[in-house]
A and B are shown apart, each in its own frame.
Chain A
């Protein structure tokens, strides 16, 4: 088990290097430089700026000095916010996005698993059709449609909930969390339902029932573990999806998070910020995928054997 995890970890390193290098050169290839301005910038000023940001050096030198800084954990100065390093900007935006993603994930798992298992325990009844139809809505109505509609209804017509900001007014975290999490709740709901159905038809469950164990024990102690494997496997990609989903949600609700900074940095050609956020996100996603892989192998005896025998 440990070697498996270690191997996967080492395999992630080349991926990271590819990401860093590809992004570095892609960003430099973009038209539109960071110092273009509407009022004419005299060439001496441009020269001074480029020198300060090391843009006047040959590109390979820039690359190696960037990697060097990276190893020391420095993402470099932001182009757009002269007084700030990218580290600072990430520090400012990360807690917000992390909280949003966490709450959305919790919401998705709680609602998803409970409604999916609920439906799966009584298949083809109203307890099944209702949650599954609702979940279909969650999958088919995208967050950028759901969000504004909820803003319109809950925020503007009913005036029940605040519609912008994060942490400035009580209750302003509710709508963004729901907007981001609902789609994933729907998907997890279907996954859990499928998982539970498959598990419940297995022999060992029938044995447990024949033994006369109460429903609660059967479900919680035996069925859930097997039934939720697809959900755990999904959590890795779900996390990546949540991070990208945050771009839209943070834009709609004006949340000062990393997702929104990323989109703005791309528009502003803030090279270092784009690089920094890309690397940061990629690292997170890779780690999370790794984690979810490891956990699903641990949970599923079949997969565990497979890996044990494949050396």
Chain B
């Protein structure tokens, strides 16, 4: 009894905190990651506030002006219709970021559910579920997405679903692996013997413990999703006008690259910066949350 009391006096303050507070401390030290976080935060806030703060209307043309390089009236120049590029890039960010976050979210939900159910169930169910993942993994998804886009028209919803449907596979594998490790831990055995239902165990104990690799992987999925959308839009198979994403803006810019280089430079710059930030943040999170791994 006495020993226990003494032990209790050594409260967590000295012994270090949870994974999260530790992680946060480590992340803060990574200057690059923190900068990326701020940049992303800024871009997201701007995207949300765009309809309010954009300097010009979205489709506001000025045919007499045509395409002009950056000036005090138009900070990032105008396109061949005289439309302000800053405004178009801001509206483009809404689409690009939305596709990134939403499609990744779709991938996240499906992947986590699938992976944790498979890992927790074990045995035949696990084998079957992972077989499905293997089979789907082998399909040439890019080709199918293109086919779907061409056949069913290019609408935004379909794009989200199609991209999300491609990205959930690796998430499922990672989660399953993680779940397999967690399953063997003592506290799970304790919970089972306490009589908690399987679903409660999965929901309350397993999934929260898979969060750290999931967060890391999601942060790295978003840029690859954004890239995928930009790639499709560039080929003319993604977002269609009048909506525009950064990928679409880049494809327009390529056509008139020589005469009006700013039309490709600025959308390209914003896309690259966003991708950089997401990747650095993801790397930083991985270093911060995974005590074992060295960089990469």
> Which chain A residues have a beta carbon within 8 Å of chain B's beta carbons?
11-12, 14-15, 18-19, 22-23, 26-27, 29-31, 123, 136, 139-142, 144-145, 148-149, 151-152, 156, 190, 193-194, 197-198, 240, 243-244, 247-248, 251-252, 262-263, 266-267, 274, 278, 281-282, 285-286, 289
Contact = CB atoms under 8 A, between A and B. Distances in A.
Given A30-B151, A190-B296, A248 B231 contact: yes
B258 interface: yes
A144 B250 contact: yes
Nearest to B170: A237
B139 A282 contact: yes
B266 to A, nearest CB: 12
Given A148-B254, A278-B143, A140 B276 contact: yes
B140 A285 contact: yes
Nearest to B224: A139
Contacts of B231: 142, 144, 248
Main SS of the interface on chain B? Answer: helix
A285 B107 CA distance: 23
Contacts, number: 111
Contact of A152 (B135, B234, B257, B296): B257
Interface in B251-291: 251, 254, 257-258, 261, 264, 268, 271-272, 275-276, 279-280
A136 B234 contact: no
Contacts of A18: 135, 139
Residue among B134, B138, B234 with most chain A CB within 10 A: B138
A101 to B, nearest CB: 14
B165 interface: no
Given A11-B135, A266-B150, 9 more contacts: A136-B276, A139-B279, A142-B227, A145-B272, A148-B254, A152-B257, A248-B231, A252-B254, A263-B146
A163 B97 CA distance: 32
Interface string B218-239: 0000010001001100110100
